[in-house]
């Protein structure tokens, strides 16, 4: 049993126009092929062959090497390296990310636009699957949760806050929060009292019957926070939660997130590219082109670029 809330192991996400065709397709071929020759025969007939001449050539040159790898992990690694050589075929949105999040953390993912922040949060939140690697939540490999059960897993464990607030426009603030509890199956009276309590907690008692259009950006984000909070999640993932807000409102939102973290022990992982917002995190993981380029612990003030193990724990 893992002592961490979330562990990422070699998480790699390759986005590409033909990702869906390429990777599972090759995977099928690898399974069917008994040896190098049958692989070649199958490969030359497949449409992957047509689309990926470049990969084919590289693969041809290295095929002995591939078949000498005896574990699936090794083969996946080989394949990944192969794909990455073909620049025009793949965007490595995340490249071999390994890190852990402790329960109760208030951590940030930093990095310029396109560095992989949203991809990382989406993968931790099981909204997207890694191409390679694993996400372990409370000791459980997310891979093992069937697609049908993912939504239930999210409802049980996670809250989401987005840059664009993502409220349902035809519902009032109250109904937006209540809806999350309906999905979770919380019965009537309890549901309404928890909705009220969450909205009171974020300071929206007086306008909880307004629709989003009649609320300011900061108020809308408070509704979104109340919605996340009401389900009592272990982890709240917030993707650039302040990017659409003025700096004063942004600070108030951070204050609120910090208060939840302190009062309720809810773990937060939020992303931002704003240094003022990032300075509020207790740990900042910096991404550049999908890779970790630094982990900065506020208390220890470690050097960016050098991975610092969590306090009191030896490096892996």
Q: Taking contact as CB under 5 A, which single stretch among the options 113-121, 152-160, 192-200, 280-288 is the one that binds Mg ion?
A: 113-121
Asked if 253 and 241 touch (Cβ cutoff 8 Å), the reply is yes
Toward Mg ion, which CB reaches closer, 56 or 117?
117
Q: Are 158 and 235 in contact (CB under 8 A)?
A: yes
Closest CA to 198 of 171, 180, 210: 180
Q: How far is the CB of 133 from ligand ADP (least distance, A)?
A: 15
CB of 281 to Mg ion, least distance (A): 16
CB of 18 to ligand ADP, least distance (A): 11
Binding track, positions 82-121, relative to ligand ADP; x by CB under 6 A: ---------x-x-----------------x-xxxxxxx--
Rounded least distance, CB 122 to ligand ADP, Å: 8
Q: Residues binding ligand ADP: what is the number (CB under 6 A)?
A: 11
Q: Which is nearer to ligand ADP, 131 or 219 (CB)?
A: 131
Residue 114 binding target from ligand ADP, Mg ion, none, CB below 5 to 8 Å by type? ligand ADP
Residues 21 and 65: their CA atoms lie apart, in Å, by: 23
Considering CB distances under 5 to 8 angstroms, the limit depending on partner class, which of Mg ion, ligand ADP, none binds residue 130? none
Residue 48 · residue 83 · CB < 8 Å? no
Task: Restricting to residues 117-146, name those near Mg ion by CB under 5 A.
Answer: 117-118
Per partner kind, with CB cut-offs from 5 to 8 A, the member of ligand ADP, Mg ion, none near residue 91 is: ligand ADP
Structure tokens at 10: 């070699």
Is 48 or 224 the residue whose CB approaches Mg ion more closely?
224
**Shortest separation between residue 117's beta carbon and Mg ion, angstroms:** 5
Residue recorded with tokens 């990926």: 52
Name the H helices within 86-216.
Answer: 117-124, 147-157, 173-183, 188-201
Answer whether 13's CB lies under 8 Å from 123's CB: yes
Give the residue with the Cβ less far from ligand ADP, 115 or 286.
115
- The secondary structure of 218-282, three-state, reads HHHHHHHHHHHHHCCCCEEEEECCCCCCCHHHHHHHHHHHHHHHHHHCCEEEEEECCHHHHCCCC
Say which residue the tokens 């890190």 belong to: 99
**β-bridge pairing 158-162 and 235-239:** parallel
Residues of this chain, 5-24, that bind ligand ADP according to CB under 6 A: 15
Pick from 91, 13, 20, 26: nearest CA to 56: 26
Q: How far is the CB of 135 from ligand ADP (least distance, A)?
A: 15
Q: What angle do CA 282, 288, 291 make, to 5 degrees?
A: 85
Q: Least distance from C-beta 15 to ligand ADP, angstroms? A: 3
119: partner contacted, choices Mg ion, ligand ADP, none (Cβ within 5-8 A by kind): ligand ADP
Beta carbon nearer to ligand ADP, 30 or 84: 84
- The residues of the shown chain that bind ligand ADP, judged by CB under 6 A, are 15, 91, 93, 111, 113-119
Q: Which residues bind Mg ion (CB under 5 A)?
A: 117-118
């Amino acid at each position: 049993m893992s002592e961490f809330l979330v562990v990422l192991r070699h998480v790699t996400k390759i986005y590409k126009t033909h990702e869906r065709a390429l990777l599972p397709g090759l995977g099928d071929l690898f399974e069917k092929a008994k040896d190098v020759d049958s692989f070649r025969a199958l490969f030359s007939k497949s449409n992957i062959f047509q689309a990926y001449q470049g990969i084919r050539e590289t693969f041809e040159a290295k095929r002995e090497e591939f078949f000498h790898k005896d574990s699936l992990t090794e083969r996946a690694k080989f394949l990944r390296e192969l794909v990455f050589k073909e620049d025009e075929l793949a965007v490595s949105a995340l490249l071999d990310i390994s890190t852990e999040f402790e329960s109760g953390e208030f951590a940030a993912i930093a990095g310029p636009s396109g560095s992989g922040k949203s991809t990382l949060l989406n993968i931790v939140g099981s909204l997207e699957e890694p191409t390679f690697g694993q996400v372990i939540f409370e000791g459980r490999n997310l891979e093992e949760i069937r697609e049908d059960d993912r939504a239930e897993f999210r409802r049980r464990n996670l809250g989401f806050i987005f840059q664009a607030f993502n409220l349902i426009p035809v519902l009032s603030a109250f109904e937006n929060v209540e809806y999350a509890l309906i999905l979770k199956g919380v019965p009537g009276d309890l549901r309404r009292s928890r909705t009220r309590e969450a909205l009171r907690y974020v300071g929206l008692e007086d306008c909880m019957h307004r629709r989003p259009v009649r609320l300011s950006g900061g108020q809308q984000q408070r509704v979104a926070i109340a919605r996340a909070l009401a389900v009592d999640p272990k982890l709240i993932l917030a993707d650039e939660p302040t990017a659409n807000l003025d700096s004063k409102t942004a600070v108030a939102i951070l204050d609120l997130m910090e208060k939840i973290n302190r009062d309720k022990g809810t773990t937060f992982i939020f992303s931002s590219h704003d240094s003022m917002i990032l300075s509020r995190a207790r740990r900042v993981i910096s991404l550049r082109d999908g890779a970790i380029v630094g982990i900065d612990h506020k208390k220890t003030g470690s050097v960016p670029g050098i991975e610092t193990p969590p306090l009191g724990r030896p490096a892996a």
